[in-house]
Amino acid sequence: MGRNQLNLTLPAFGAPQIRLLEKLSNAQAVSGDEGEVRKIVLENIRPNVDEARIDALGNVLAIKRGSANTRVKVMIAAHMDEVGLMLTSEEDKEEGYYRFEVIGGIDPRVLAGKRVKFAHQDKFGVIGSKPIHLTSADERKNLLGIDSLRIDCASANNKIKVGERATFATEFMRTGDQLRGKALDDRLGVAILIELLKHPFPHLDILAAFTVQEEVGLRGAQVAAYALDPQVALVLDCTPAYDLPLEVEDPDHPIENARYNTKLRKGPAIYLADRETLSDPRWIAHLVQTAETMHIPYQFRQPGGGGTDAGSIHLQRSGIPSISVSTPARYIHTPAAIASFTDWKNTFHLVYSALNRLNADVFNQER
Amino acid sequence: MNTSEINSILKQLTSVPALSGYESRLHETLNTLWKPYLDEISISRVGSYHALRLGQASQPRPRLLLTAHMDTIGLMVSGIQDGFLRLTEIGGIDARLLPGQLVTVHGKQLIPAVIVQPPPFLLPKEYQSNPVPLQYLWADCGLSAEKVNQQIHIGDIVTFDQPFIELDNDLVSSPGLDNRASLTAITVCIQELAQRQPLWDSWFVASVQEEETQVGALTSAFQIQPNLAIVVDVTFANGPGSPPHKTFPLGKGITLGWGATVHPYLYQSFKDLADQLEIPYKPEPMPRRSGTDADSLQTVAHGIPTMVIGIPLRYMHSAVEIISLKDIQRTARLLTEFIARLEVDYLDKIKWDETN
């Protein structure tokens, strides 16, 4: 079937979506405290769905029913939470020094020298270290670990208390094709899911889950999948692009970086297998056929480690055929991730087209 | 001048990135802040900014030099591979602070980028879970290799991209407070001296390349041949991870340098004046060198009696430097009063005990 035979026009995706992403990326929603993103999600989806509710863990569960007589119940999930920091102990109230822990997978080597912003208040802290002038060359070989670092608020402040969450203080920025922000993982997915809900899919019941606590063990998705009880599920996430040059010791014998996971600007990443999930082969085939029919670039995420909400969704109830599609981004879980607008747009178009083509037959064949 | 006015001067001065060797982009800002209050402006051969306020005494008048360096630390593009940039430092930078740091690459246009640490499997074994040296870090502009090659070249400078912010208690945080804080103190001093009639000729100098070779202070001192010199620079404030015995409390007062670089008579004059004005200070022992422009300047030509004043700065040479506006205010006041009260025969009093 060629593009014309499918007779599908791809919806516009540009400046309004980038504005939404900016708002989402700058919002602060560390795992367990997803309220700021939840609010933006609810504001944006309410006019477009049949029902929307907040469950016991804080997931936003929304249903948009199709008009056809027989419909496939498809769950689409994107996690609202992001990695961050929490103040765990007050070290010097007058000076404003606090010990902290990380929430989610943050390499401690990206912490020192960064500015952080406390959630729900316009207050900043910094994570500093001993000036280079007062350190020896040997000392600088040592890791600046979390135990040796403090969040420094520089003064006593009654609003800042143990238990406060903070994120890196990075403002969203778009230049050319580049999208840069602190929480592209997974606001890229959240924004696509918000966008999908604007479009009718007569033959589908779209069961949207904006999940909580993905970064601390795929916990929100577990109860969301139980409640929504879908036939199949698709997860929209953000996956690392490790497409950096390899350190070449011998310039005459360069080796290729064969562990890139995904590559930026090579299209949406379709999952085959990660540590948590083996993607349903019918989903894989359906997405690949869709991409090729619609001439949308795509890539396979290299099978291996990592995990998405699909990890807990596919195990729910009597089993849910699941797959993940991610927008690749470099440096997720650091102060600033970089993604490609084109990849992001293509991710939306791929999933939009795949849902348009989806019917019960796709999953009626044996896997 | 109150701290909110000082805040706006400091904000203006930190908003212009001017790395060592690239200071001329600050000249325009200094024209705005200094020129209206001064009699003569010139730029030295190496780019230092010279400004003269003529004194009231009859000729030949003694000359005072008040200087702070205007350059800041930063980075420079040293290599380009597949659209990724290798960097080298300008001034002393602890590479452990760099992964995740937002920067601006000064290519054909200003290009935002982020400094990144490659994933462990791309690194030599010894750095997979240890701090990654600068030679293995990259800056990523998020552009295709082709665009990077068009826009960016080896030698382009790279500056920290982190906006100035105000914290509580008259504290502020920004990259480049070393040494724009001291330049701010001198700016305030210049503006306040407009209401006063100092007897001496006062030369105000924003010097270049302190973070590298100190060529600015060295050559300006030679050109101006001052009878006295005062160097203002930041010093180490206390902070998590910093040893208390080598640092000074933030926002609790300034430091007066004491050691071989500082002339003992000048030190005593500043100490007496600070006591009289009730400006809190601590003596800052400088057992060998001062680590400031004073080290170069002191030995210019026949030698110059030199004083060093320090403003405590937390996390020096990072993108999260923190300083107190009150300490800048105190520094400015001490400088203003010293210059305004300088007697025409002050030099005659600078004698070594043995010759008295």
Contact across the interface for A128 and B315, Cβ inside 8 Å: yes
3-state SS, residue B298: coil
CB-CB contact of A118 with A164 (8 Å): yes
C-alpha angle A200/A204/A206, rounded to 5°?
75
Helix (H) or strand (E) holding A52, with range, is strand A51-54
CB-CB contact of B18 with B160 (8 Å): no
- Chain A interface includes B1 (CB < 8 A): no
pLDDT of residue A3: 47
CB-CB contact of B57 with B199 (8 Å): yes
Q: What is the ipTM of this complex?
A: 0.90
Q: Which stretches of A9-122 are DSSP H helices?
A: 15-26, 35-45
Fill in the DSSP letter of residue A242. -
Q: Which of A214, A215, A276, A366 is catalytic?
A: A214
Q: Stretch A153-172: mean pLDDT, rounded? A: 92
pLDDT of residue A250: 63
Q: How confident is the model at residue A254 (pLDDT cuts 50, 70, 90)?
A: low
B173, closest residue in chain A (CA to CA): A126
3-state secondary structure A282-324: HHHHHHHHHHHHHCCCCEECCCCCCCCCHHHHCCCCCCCCEEE
B75-160, which class in CATH? mainly beta
- pLDDT per residue as tens digits for the range B86-103: 999 999 999 999 999 999
- pLDDT per residue as tens digits for the range B316-354: 999 999 999 999 999 999 999 999 999 999 999 887 777
Q: Stretch A263-270: mean pLDDT, rounded? A: 97
Q: Stretch A31-45: mean pLDDT, rounded? A: 98
CB-CB contact of A111 with A145 (8 Å): no
Q: Residue A220 pLDDT > 90, yes or no? A: yes
Domain A3-82+182-245+256-364, CATH: 3.40.630.10
Q: Is the N-terminal amide bond of B226 cis, ω within 30° of 0?
A: no
Q: How confident is the model at residue B164 (pLDDT cuts 50, 70, 90)?
A: very high
- pLDDT per residue as tens digits for the range A98-111: 999 999 999 999 99
Dihedral angle computed from the Cα positions of residues A32, A37, A43 and A47, in that order, rounded to the nearest 10 degrees: -80
Query: Check: CATH 2.40.30.40 for A84-168?
Result: yes
Backbone angles phi, psi at B293, to 5 degrees: -55, -25
Q: Stretch A164-193: mean pLDDT, rounded? A: 97
- What is the domain partition of chain A in residue ranges? 3-82+182-245+256-364, 84-168
pLDDT of residue A251: 64
How far apart (Å, rounded) are the C-alpha atoms in residues A153 and B151?
A: 39
How far apart (Å, rounded) are the C-alpha atoms in residues B2 and B13?
A: 17
List the one residue out of B330, B326, B340 whose CA is nearest residue B7: B326
Q: Is the N-terminal amide bond of A186 cis, ω within 30° of 0?
A: yes
pTM: 0.92
pLDDT of residue A255: 72
| Chain A hits for B316, Cβ within 8 Å | 131-133
How far apart (Å, rounded) are the C-alpha atoms in residues B78 and B170?
A: 38
C-alpha angle B146/B150/B153, rounded to 5°?
115
pLDDT of residue A331: 97
Query: Counting one residue from A and one from B, how many pairs have CB atoms under 8 Å apart?
Result: 190
CB-CB contact of A37 with A29 (8 Å): yes
Q: How confident is the model at residue A257 (pLDDT cuts 50, 70, 90)?
A: confident
Q: Stretch A312-330: mean pLDDT, rounded? A: 97
Q: Which of A141, A259, A264 is the closest to B121 by Cβ?
A: A259
CA distances to A3, A292, A327, B348 from A296, in Å: 11, 6, 13, 84
pLDDT of residue A4: 43
Mean pLDDT over the full length of chain A? 94
- What is the domain partition of chain B in residue ranges? 3-72+175-346, 75-160
Contact across the interface for B173 and A154, Cβ inside 8 Å: yes
Cα–chain center distance at B250: 17
Tell me which fold the domain B3-72+175-346 belongs to.
Aminopeptidase (3.40.630)
